[in-house]
Amino acid sequence: MEDATVRPIGPSTGRRLSALARHLGGDHPASPSSTSEAAPMASLNHAIAPSHTSAFHGGSVFGNVVQAPEDPILGVTVAYNKDPSPVKVNLGVGAYRTEEGKPLVLNVVRRAEQLLVNDLSRVKEYLPITGLAEFNKLSANPAIQENRVATVQCLSGTGSLRVGAEFLAKHYHERTIYIPLPTWGNHPKVFTLAGLSVKTYRYYDPTTRGLNFQGLLEDLNASPTGAIVLLHACAHNPTGVDPTVEQWEQIRQLMRSKELLPFFDSAYQGFASGNLDADAQSVRLFVADGGELLAAQSYAKNMGLYGERVGALSIVCRAADVAGRVESQLKLVIRPMYSNPPIHGASIVATILRDRELYNEWTVELKAMADRIISMRHLLYDALRSRGTPGDWSHIIKQIGMFTFTGLNTEQVAFMTREYHIYMTSDGRISMAGLSSRTVPHLADAIHAAVTRAV
Protein backbone atom coordinates (compact mmCIF):
# COMPACT_ATOMS: atom_id res chain seq x y z
CA MET A 1 0.00 0.00 0.00
CA GLU A 2 1.24 3.44 -0.92
CA ASP A 3 2.08 5.50 2.17
CA ALA A 4 1.27 9.09 1.31
CA THR A 5 3.30 10.41 4.22
CA VAL A 6 6.61 9.05 2.96
CA ARG A 7 8.58 11.52 0.90
CA PRO A 8 11.17 10.37 -1.60
CA ILE A 9 14.53 10.74 0.11
CA GLY A 10 16.74 11.66 -2.83
CA PRO A 11 15.22 14.79 -4.38
CA SER A 12 13.83 16.12 -1.11
CA THR A 13 17.19 15.81 0.66
CA GLY A 14 18.84 17.45 -2.33
CA ARG A 15 16.37 20.32 -2.15
CA ARG A 16 17.00 20.77 1.56
CA LEU A 17 20.74 20.75 1.08
CA SER A 18 20.64 23.27 -1.71
CA ALA A 19 18.27 25.43 0.35
CA LEU A 20 20.74 25.30 3.20
CA ALA A 21 23.68 25.99 0.91
CA ARG A 22 21.79 28.98 -0.49
CA HIS A 23 21.00 30.13 3.00
CA LEU A 24 24.57 29.79 4.16
CA GLY A 25 25.93 31.18 0.93
CA GLY A 26 24.45 34.61 1.39
CA ASP A 27 21.94 35.12 -1.41
CA HIS A 28 19.14 34.46 1.03
CA PRO A 29 17.53 37.19 3.16
CA ALA A 30 19.04 35.49 6.19
CA SER A 31 22.61 35.86 5.02
CA PRO A 32 25.58 34.42 6.92
CA SER A 33 26.23 37.74 8.58
CA SER A 34 22.77 37.49 10.07
CA THR A 35 23.71 34.67 12.37
CA SER A 36 26.10 34.65 15.24
CA GLU A 37 28.74 32.73 13.34
CA ALA A 38 29.16 34.56 10.08
CA ALA A 39 32.70 33.61 9.13
CA PRO A 40 32.68 29.85 9.61
CA MET A 41 29.28 29.46 7.96
CA ALA A 42 30.39 30.91 4.66
CA SER A 43 32.88 28.11 4.23
CA LEU A 44 30.18 25.57 4.99
CA ASN A 45 28.54 26.38 1.72
CA HIS A 46 30.52 23.99 -0.44
CA ALA A 47 31.28 21.58 2.37
CA ILE A 48 27.65 20.75 3.04
CA ALA A 49 26.61 20.33 -0.58
CA PRO A 50 26.49 16.70 -1.65
CA SER A 51 29.49 15.64 -3.74
CA HIS A 52 28.33 13.04 -6.23
CA THR A 53 30.88 10.35 -6.85
CA SER A 54 31.24 9.26 -10.43
CA ALA A 55 34.61 7.55 -10.25
CA PHE A 56 37.29 6.40 -7.86
CA HIS A 57 39.38 9.18 -6.39
CA GLY A 58 42.58 7.97 -4.86
CA GLY A 59 41.20 4.45 -4.69
CA SER A 60 38.18 5.38 -2.59
CA VAL A 61 34.60 5.93 -3.64
CA PHE A 62 34.66 8.71 -1.04
CA GLY A 63 37.87 10.24 -2.40
CA ASN A 64 36.12 13.42 -3.49
CA VAL A 65 34.48 14.10 -0.13
CA VAL A 66 35.69 17.50 1.00
CA GLN A 67 36.89 18.26 4.50
CA ALA A 68 34.08 19.94 6.46
CA PRO A 69 34.86 22.76 8.86
CA GLU A 70 34.49 22.21 12.60
CA ASP A 71 31.24 23.32 14.20
CA PRO A 72 31.49 27.02 15.20
CA ILE A 73 30.59 26.23 18.83
CA LEU A 74 31.59 22.61 19.51
CA GLY A 75 34.72 23.12 17.38
CA VAL A 76 35.95 25.60 20.00
CA THR A 77 36.23 22.69 22.46
CA VAL A 78 38.11 20.64 19.85
CA ALA A 79 40.66 23.46 19.49
CA TYR A 80 40.85 23.94 23.26
CA ASN A 81 41.55 20.25 23.83
CA LYS A 82 44.51 20.42 21.43
CA ASP A 83 46.13 23.35 23.24
CA PRO A 84 48.84 22.19 25.70
CA SER A 85 48.97 25.54 27.54
CA PRO A 86 48.36 25.27 31.31
CA VAL A 87 46.59 28.63 31.37
CA LYS A 88 44.00 27.80 28.70
CA VAL A 89 40.34 28.54 29.44
CA ASN A 90 37.34 27.22 27.51
CA LEU A 91 34.55 29.80 27.39
CA GLY A 92 33.06 28.44 24.16
CA VAL A 93 30.30 25.91 24.69
CA GLY A 94 27.64 26.75 27.26
CA ALA A 95 28.49 24.12 29.83
CA TYR A 96 28.43 24.85 33.54
CA ARG A 97 31.67 24.51 35.48
CA THR A 98 32.26 24.72 39.23
CA GLU A 99 34.44 27.31 40.92
CA GLU A 100 37.20 24.67 40.53
CA GLY A 101 36.60 24.58 36.78
CA LYS A 102 35.10 21.07 36.89
CA PRO A 103 31.89 19.79 35.25
CA LEU A 104 29.09 19.48 37.79
CA VAL A 105 26.77 16.55 38.35
CA LEU A 106 23.96 17.87 40.54
CA ASN A 107 23.61 16.11 43.87
CA VAL A 108 19.92 15.62 43.18
CA VAL A 109 20.81 13.85 39.93
CA ARG A 110 23.18 11.53 41.81
CA ARG A 111 20.40 10.77 44.29
CA ALA A 112 17.90 10.07 41.52
CA GLU A 113 20.39 7.80 39.75
CA GLN A 114 20.98 5.90 42.99
CA LEU A 115 17.25 5.34 43.38
CA LEU A 116 17.09 4.08 39.79
CA VAL A 117 20.03 1.71 40.26
CA ASN A 118 18.55 0.32 43.47
CA ASP A 119 15.18 -0.34 41.84
CA LEU A 120 15.64 -3.86 40.49
CA SER A 121 12.20 -3.82 38.90
CA ARG A 122 13.57 -1.47 36.25
CA VAL A 123 14.31 -2.99 32.86
CA LYS A 124 15.91 -1.83 29.62
CA GLU A 125 12.97 -2.39 27.28
CA TYR A 126 12.34 0.03 24.43
CA LEU A 127 10.39 3.11 25.39
CA PRO A 128 7.33 3.98 23.29
CA ILE A 129 8.05 6.15 20.21
CA THR A 130 6.92 9.17 22.23
CA GLY A 131 9.21 8.36 25.16
CA LEU A 132 8.58 7.97 28.87
CA ALA A 133 4.94 8.87 29.55
CA GLU A 134 5.54 10.17 33.06
CA PHE A 135 8.43 12.32 31.88
CA ASN A 136 6.20 13.84 29.19
CA LYS A 137 3.38 14.52 31.60
CA LEU A 138 5.69 16.18 34.14
CA SER A 139 7.51 18.20 31.46
CA ALA A 140 4.34 19.65 29.92
CA ASN A 141 3.44 23.14 31.00
CA PRO A 142 1.47 23.01 34.28
CA ALA A 143 -0.78 25.76 32.90
CA ILE A 144 -2.21 23.28 30.43
CA GLN A 145 -5.04 21.64 32.30
CA GLU A 146 -7.21 20.85 29.34
CA ASN A 147 -5.22 18.03 27.80
CA ARG A 148 -4.73 20.09 24.67
CA VAL A 149 -1.01 19.43 24.46
CA ALA A 150 0.95 16.70 22.70
CA THR A 151 4.31 16.16 24.45
CA VAL A 152 6.98 13.81 23.17
CA GLN A 153 10.35 13.03 24.71
CA CYS A 154 13.11 13.96 22.26
CA LEU A 155 16.90 14.05 22.07
CA SER A 156 17.45 17.15 24.19
CA GLY A 157 16.70 20.64 22.90
CA THR A 158 18.16 20.12 19.43
CA GLY A 159 16.19 16.94 18.81
CA SER A 160 13.00 18.61 20.02
CA LEU A 161 13.54 21.52 17.63
CA ARG A 162 14.24 19.16 14.76
CA VAL A 163 11.19 16.96 15.36
CA GLY A 164 8.99 20.06 15.73
CA ALA A 165 10.38 21.54 12.53
CA GLU A 166 9.92 18.28 10.57
CA PHE A 167 6.32 18.14 11.78
CA LEU A 168 5.69 21.74 10.70
CA ALA A 169 7.28 21.20 7.29
CA LYS A 170 4.89 18.32 6.74
CA HIS A 171 1.66 19.52 8.31
CA TYR A 172 1.66 23.31 8.61
CA HIS A 173 0.52 25.57 5.81
CA GLU A 174 3.27 28.20 6.17
CA ARG A 175 6.86 27.03 5.65
CA THR A 176 8.69 30.20 6.66
CA ILE A 177 10.23 30.46 10.11
CA TYR A 178 11.52 33.78 11.43
CA ILE A 179 14.50 33.51 13.77
CA PRO A 180 16.03 36.33 15.82
CA LEU A 181 19.10 38.17 14.59
CA PRO A 182 21.44 36.92 15.94
CA THR A 183 20.54 33.51 17.31
CA TRP A 184 22.07 30.18 18.28
CA GLY A 185 24.16 29.15 15.26
CA ASN A 186 22.49 25.76 14.91
CA HIS A 187 18.96 27.16 14.48
CA PRO A 188 19.19 27.98 10.74
CA LYS A 189 20.69 24.58 9.99
CA VAL A 190 18.11 22.62 11.99
CA PHE A 191 15.19 24.41 10.39
CA THR A 192 16.51 24.48 6.83
CA LEU A 193 17.40 20.80 6.84
CA ALA A 194 13.93 20.02 8.22
CA GLY A 195 12.46 21.66 5.12
CA LEU A 196 11.53 25.12 6.41
CA SER A 197 12.62 28.38 4.88
CA VAL A 198 14.50 30.61 7.32
CA LYS A 199 14.23 34.38 7.59
CA THR A 200 15.33 36.69 10.37
CA TYR A 201 13.72 39.37 12.50
CA ARG A 202 15.66 42.17 14.17
CA TYR A 203 16.39 41.43 17.81
CA TYR A 204 19.64 42.86 19.09
CA ASP A 205 20.91 46.40 18.74
CA PRO A 206 24.74 46.44 18.91
CA THR A 207 24.84 50.18 19.62
CA THR A 208 22.75 49.94 22.79
CA ARG A 209 23.72 46.31 23.45
CA GLY A 210 20.04 45.84 24.22
CA LEU A 211 16.83 44.70 22.59
CA ASN A 212 15.82 46.31 19.29
CA PHE A 213 12.20 46.13 20.31
CA GLN A 214 10.94 48.50 17.63
CA GLY A 215 12.75 46.54 14.92
CA LEU A 216 11.39 43.27 16.30
CA LEU A 217 7.79 44.53 16.22
CA GLU A 218 8.22 45.99 12.73
CA ASP A 219 9.68 42.80 11.31
CA LEU A 220 7.05 40.55 12.86
CA ASN A 221 4.37 42.92 11.68
CA ALA A 222 5.73 42.76 8.13
CA SER A 223 5.92 38.94 8.10
CA PRO A 224 3.28 36.94 6.24
CA THR A 225 0.19 35.87 8.17
CA GLY A 226 0.71 32.47 9.76
CA ALA A 227 4.52 32.51 9.63
CA ILE A 228 6.35 30.55 12.32
CA VAL A 229 8.39 32.63 14.78
CA LEU A 230 11.22 31.16 16.83
CA LEU A 231 11.39 32.76 20.28
CA HIS A 232 13.99 32.10 22.96
CA ALA A 233 11.88 31.48 26.06
CA CYS A 234 14.51 33.13 28.29
CA ALA A 235 18.24 33.85 28.50
CA HIS A 236 18.60 34.55 24.78
CA ASN A 237 21.65 32.91 23.21
CA PRO A 238 24.05 34.54 22.35
CA THR A 239 22.99 38.05 23.45
CA GLY A 240 21.80 37.54 27.05
CA VAL A 241 19.08 40.10 26.27
CA ASP A 242 15.41 39.21 26.93
CA PRO A 243 12.20 41.20 26.47
CA THR A 244 10.53 42.40 29.68
CA VAL A 245 7.20 40.83 30.66
CA GLU A 246 5.42 43.92 29.29
CA GLN A 247 7.29 43.57 26.00
CA TRP A 248 6.42 39.86 25.86
CA GLU A 249 2.78 40.83 26.24
CA GLN A 250 3.08 43.22 23.30
CA ILE A 251 4.80 40.54 21.24
CA ARG A 252 2.02 38.13 22.13
CA GLN A 253 -0.71 40.55 21.09
CA LEU A 254 0.98 41.28 17.77
CA MET A 255 1.65 37.62 17.04
CA ARG A 256 -1.86 36.52 17.90
CA SER A 257 -3.40 39.31 15.82
CA LYS A 258 -1.31 38.24 12.82
CA GLU A 259 -1.81 34.53 13.55
CA LEU A 260 1.94 33.99 13.75
CA LEU A 261 2.79 30.58 15.22
CA PRO A 262 5.20 30.74 18.21
CA PHE A 263 7.93 28.12 18.42
CA PHE A 264 9.64 28.54 21.80
CA ASP A 265 13.15 27.29 22.37
CA SER A 266 13.50 26.78 26.11
CA ALA A 267 17.09 25.71 26.65
CA TYR A 268 17.88 27.76 29.76
CA GLN A 269 14.83 27.69 32.02
CA GLY A 270 16.08 28.61 35.49
CA PHE A 271 19.35 30.10 34.24
CA ALA A 272 17.97 33.59 33.57
CA SER A 273 16.55 34.43 37.00
CA GLY A 274 17.46 31.36 39.03
CA ASN A 275 13.73 30.60 39.23
CA LEU A 276 11.95 28.05 37.02
CA ASP A 277 8.56 29.76 37.16
CA ALA A 278 9.85 33.26 36.49
CA ASP A 279 11.76 31.96 33.47
CA ALA A 280 8.65 30.27 32.07
CA GLN A 281 6.59 33.46 32.04
CA SER A 282 6.98 34.11 28.32
CA VAL A 283 5.71 30.67 27.33
CA ARG A 284 2.93 30.76 29.92
CA LEU A 285 1.62 34.09 28.58
CA PHE A 286 1.07 32.42 25.23
CA VAL A 287 -0.43 29.30 26.80
CA ALA A 288 -2.83 31.34 28.93
CA ASP A 289 -4.57 32.95 25.96
CA GLY A 290 -5.76 29.54 24.77
CA GLY A 291 -3.84 29.73 21.50
CA GLU A 292 -1.46 27.31 19.86
CA LEU A 293 2.32 27.04 20.05
CA LEU A 294 5.31 24.73 20.03
CA ALA A 295 7.91 24.50 22.78
CA ALA A 296 11.24 22.67 22.69
CA GLN A 297 12.59 22.04 26.19
CA SER A 298 16.07 20.96 27.17
CA TYR A 299 17.24 19.57 30.50
CA ALA A 300 20.87 19.78 29.40
CA LYS A 301 21.70 22.97 31.25
CA ASN A 302 19.18 23.29 34.06
CA MET A 303 19.67 19.71 35.28
CA GLY A 304 23.22 19.39 34.01
CA LEU A 305 22.20 16.40 31.87
CA TYR A 306 24.06 17.53 28.73
CA GLY A 307 25.25 14.16 27.46
CA GLU A 308 22.10 12.30 28.49
CA ARG A 309 20.24 14.11 25.69
CA VAL A 310 16.95 14.61 27.44
CA GLY A 311 14.33 17.08 26.29
CA ALA A 312 10.73 17.39 25.22
CA LEU A 313 8.71 18.84 22.38
CA SER A 314 5.26 20.10 23.32
CA ILE A 315 2.72 21.14 20.73
CA VAL A 316 -0.03 23.07 22.43
CA CYS A 317 -3.24 22.87 20.43
CA ARG A 318 -6.66 24.46 20.66
CA ALA A 319 -8.39 21.24 21.67
CA ALA A 320 -7.61 17.77 23.00
CA ASP A 321 -8.77 15.94 19.87
CA VAL A 322 -6.36 17.98 17.72
CA ALA A 323 -3.53 17.24 20.16
CA GLY A 324 -4.26 13.52 19.87
CA ARG A 325 -3.96 13.60 16.09
CA VAL A 326 -0.84 15.77 16.26
CA GLU A 327 0.78 13.22 18.56
CA SER A 328 -0.06 10.42 16.14
CA GLN A 329 1.78 12.32 13.38
CA LEU A 330 4.75 13.11 15.63
CA LYS A 331 5.20 9.37 15.98
CA LEU A 332 5.49 9.11 12.21
CA VAL A 333 8.24 11.74 12.28
CA ILE A 334 10.17 10.07 15.09
CA ARG A 335 9.92 6.38 14.19
CA PRO A 336 12.04 6.54 11.00
CA MET A 337 14.44 9.07 12.56
CA TYR A 338 15.61 7.25 15.71
CA SER A 339 12.68 4.96 16.53
CA ASN A 340 12.34 5.90 20.19
CA PRO A 341 14.35 7.91 22.71
CA PRO A 342 16.80 6.69 25.38
CA ILE A 343 15.49 5.76 28.81
CA HIS A 344 18.08 6.84 31.36
CA GLY A 345 18.00 10.65 31.26
CA ALA A 346 14.22 10.82 31.12
CA SER A 347 14.01 8.47 34.11
CA ILE A 348 16.29 10.78 36.11
CA VAL A 349 14.14 13.80 35.25
CA ALA A 350 10.88 11.99 36.04
CA THR A 351 12.29 10.79 39.39
CA ILE A 352 13.15 14.37 40.33
CA LEU A 353 9.99 16.05 39.03
CA ARG A 354 7.62 13.59 40.68
CA ASP A 355 9.09 13.95 44.18
CA ARG A 356 8.51 17.20 46.10
CA GLU A 357 11.70 16.89 48.11
CA LEU A 358 13.94 16.09 45.15
CA TYR A 359 12.27 18.84 43.14
CA ASN A 360 13.02 21.36 45.88
CA GLU A 361 16.61 20.22 46.07
CA TRP A 362 16.88 20.71 42.32
CA THR A 363 15.61 24.29 42.52
CA VAL A 364 18.18 25.08 45.23
CA GLU A 365 21.05 23.64 43.17
CA LEU A 366 19.80 25.41 40.05
CA LYS A 367 19.68 28.72 41.88
CA ALA A 368 23.24 28.16 43.10
CA MET A 369 24.42 27.69 39.50
CA ALA A 370 22.59 30.84 38.37
CA ASP A 371 24.02 32.80 41.31
CA ARG A 372 27.58 31.67 40.60
CA ILE A 373 27.22 32.88 37.03
CA ILE A 374 25.94 36.26 38.24
CA SER A 375 28.87 36.57 40.64
CA MET A 376 31.25 35.90 37.72
CA ARG A 377 29.58 38.80 35.86
CA HIS A 378 30.36 41.14 38.74
CA LEU A 379 33.92 39.87 39.13
CA LEU A 380 34.66 40.34 35.43
CA TYR A 381 33.03 43.76 35.33
CA ASP A 382 35.02 44.91 38.38
CA ALA A 383 38.24 43.46 36.96
CA LEU A 384 37.86 45.44 33.71
CA ARG A 385 36.98 48.62 35.61
CA SER A 386 40.02 48.27 37.85
CA ARG A 387 42.22 47.84 34.77
CA GLY A 388 40.72 50.97 33.22
CA THR A 389 39.82 48.98 30.11
CA PRO A 390 38.38 51.43 27.54
CA GLY A 391 34.66 51.11 26.85
CA ASP A 392 31.42 50.66 28.72
CA TRP A 393 31.29 47.12 30.07
CA SER A 394 28.04 47.44 32.02
CA HIS A 395 26.37 44.99 29.62
CA ILE A 396 28.39 42.25 31.34
CA ILE A 397 26.26 42.71 34.45
CA LYS A 398 23.05 43.61 32.61
CA GLN A 399 22.91 40.60 30.31
CA ILE A 400 21.39 37.43 31.72
CA GLY A 401 21.77 33.68 31.45
CA MET A 402 24.84 31.72 30.56
CA PHE A 403 26.49 34.07 28.08
CA THR A 404 27.90 37.54 27.73
CA PHE A 405 27.84 38.97 24.23
CA THR A 406 30.96 41.04 24.73
CA GLY A 407 31.03 43.07 21.54
CA LEU A 408 34.61 41.89 20.89
CA ASN A 409 35.20 41.37 17.18
CA THR A 410 36.62 38.35 15.35
CA GLU A 411 40.18 39.75 15.32
CA GLN A 412 40.09 40.51 19.02
CA VAL A 413 38.80 37.01 19.74
CA ALA A 414 41.56 35.50 17.59
CA PHE A 415 44.12 37.62 19.44
CA MET A 416 42.84 36.45 22.83
CA THR A 417 43.00 32.83 21.74
CA ARG A 418 46.47 33.18 20.25
CA GLU A 419 48.08 35.22 23.01
CA TYR A 420 46.08 34.23 26.09
CA HIS A 421 44.72 30.77 25.24
CA ILE A 422 41.16 31.98 25.88
CA TYR A 423 38.75 29.92 23.77
CA MET A 424 35.40 31.44 22.80
CA THR A 425 33.15 31.69 19.74
CA SER A 426 34.27 34.12 17.06
CA ASP A 427 31.18 36.31 17.52
CA GLY A 428 32.56 37.49 20.87
CA ARG A 429 30.28 35.35 23.02
CA ILE A 430 31.73 34.06 26.28
CA SER A 431 30.21 31.39 28.47
CA MET A 432 30.17 32.96 31.93
CA ALA A 433 29.47 29.51 33.35
CA GLY A 434 32.97 28.44 32.32
CA LEU A 435 34.65 31.15 34.41
CA SER A 436 35.89 30.99 38.00
CA SER A 437 37.36 33.60 40.33
CA ARG A 438 40.75 32.08 39.48
CA THR A 439 40.36 32.62 35.72
CA VAL A 440 38.60 36.01 35.72
CA PRO A 441 41.86 38.05 36.09
CA HIS A 442 43.40 36.19 33.13
CA LEU A 443 40.31 36.88 31.01
CA ALA A 444 40.27 40.54 32.07
CA ASP A 445 43.96 40.85 31.10
CA ALA A 446 43.18 39.30 27.72
CA ILE A 447 40.19 41.57 27.03
CA HIS A 448 42.18 44.60 28.14
CA ALA A 449 45.05 43.70 25.82
CA ALA A 450 42.66 42.92 22.95
CA VAL A 451 40.84 46.25 23.08
CA THR A 452 43.96 48.31 23.67
CA ARG A 453 46.37 46.54 21.33
CA ALA A 454 44.57 44.47 18.72
CA VAL A 455 43.33 46.08 15.53
Footprint of ligand PLA on 377-396 (CB under 6 A): none
Q: Which is nearer to ligand PLA, 298 or 383 (CB)?
A: 298
Catalytic-residue membership of 362 = no
When the beta carbons of 167 and 263 are compared against ligand PLA, the nearer one is: 263
CA distance 314 to 293: 8
C-beta of 148 vs 202, nearer to ligand PLA: 202
* 265 classed as catalytic: yes
Query: How many residues contact ligand PLA, by CB under 6 A?
Result: 15
Task: Determine contact, residues 21/28, Cβ cutoff 8 Å.
Answer: no
Give, as ranges, the residues between 51 and 80 that touch ligand PLA (CB under 6 A). Answer: 73
Residue 300 contacts ligand PLA per CB under 6 A = yes
**Who contacts 176 (Cβ-Cβ below 8 Å, separation ≥6)?**
196, 197, 198, 199, 223, 224, 227, 228
Q: Does 153 bind ligand PLA (CB under 6 A)?
A: no
Stretch that binds ligand PLA, among 54-62, 150-158, 241-249, 283-291 (CB under 6 A): 150-158
| By the rule CB under 6 A, 237 interacts with ligand PLA | yes
65 versus 74: smaller Cβ distance to ligand PLA: 74
How far apart are CB 452 and ligand PLA at their closest, in Å? 28
Least distance in Å: CB of 289 to ligand PLA? 24
CA torsion 167→170→173→179, rounded to 10°?
Answer: 50
Instruction: Name the one range near ligand PLA by CB under 6 A: 7-15, 156-164, 216-224, 333-341.
Output: 156-164
**CA-atom Rg of the chain in angstroms:** 22
Cβ 66 vs Cβ 46: under 8 Å: yes
DSSP 8-state code for residue 6: P
DSSP state of 5: T
Q: Are 203 and 230 in contact (CB under 8 A)?
A: no
Near ligand PLA by CB under 6 A: residue from 25, 40, 131, 157:
157
Q: With binding defined as CB under 6 A, does residue 93 bind ligand PLA?
A: yes
Q: In terms of CB distance, is 73 or 444 closer to ligand PLA?
A: 73
CB 130 within 8 A of CB 334: yes
Concatenated DSSP letters for 94-142?
Answer: ---B-TTS-B---HHHHHHHHHHHH-TT---PPPPTT--HHHHHHHS-T
Pick the piece of the chain touching ligand PLA (CB under 6 A) from 114-122, 153-161, 171-179, 348-356.
153-161
Closer residue to ligand PLA, CB minimum distance, 161 or 251: 161
CB 431 within 8 A of CB 371: no
Task: Pick one of 32, 40, 94, 270: the residue that binds ligand PLA (CB under 6 A).
Answer: 94
Question: What is the Cα–Cα distance from 280 to 285, expressed in whole angstroms?
Answer: 9
Tell whether residue 297 is a contact of ligand PLA (CB under 6 A).
no
- Side by side, the strands of the sheet bearing 310-316 are 149-155, 310-316, 293-298, 261-266, 228-232, 176-181, 197-202
Say whether residue 158 binds ligand PLA (CB under 6 A). yes
Indicate which residue of 88, 189, 199, 301 is catalytic.
Answer: 301
Q: Which residue in the set 130, 153, 298, 347 belongs to the binding site for ligand PLA (CB under 6 A)?
A: 298
Alpha carbons 406 and 393: distance in angstroms, whole number: 8
* Catalytic residue list contains 3: no
The verdict on 265 binding ligand PLA (CB under 6 A) reads yes
Residue 35 vs 158, nearer CB to ligand PLA:
158
Least gap, CB of 256 to ligand PLA (angstroms): 23
Closest C-alpha to 145, from 277, 287, 295: 287
- The set of long-range contacts for 280-284, using a CB threshold of 8 Å and a minimum separation of 24, is 280/141, 280/233, 280/234, 281/234, 281/245, 281/248, 282/231, 282/233, 282/234, 282/242, 282/243, 282/248, 283/141, 283/233, 284/141, 284/143
Q: Give the catalytic positions in this structure.
A: 184, 265, 301
The contact set with ligand PLA (CB under 6 A) reads 73, 93-94, 156-158, 184, 186, 232, 237, 265, 267, 298, 300, 311
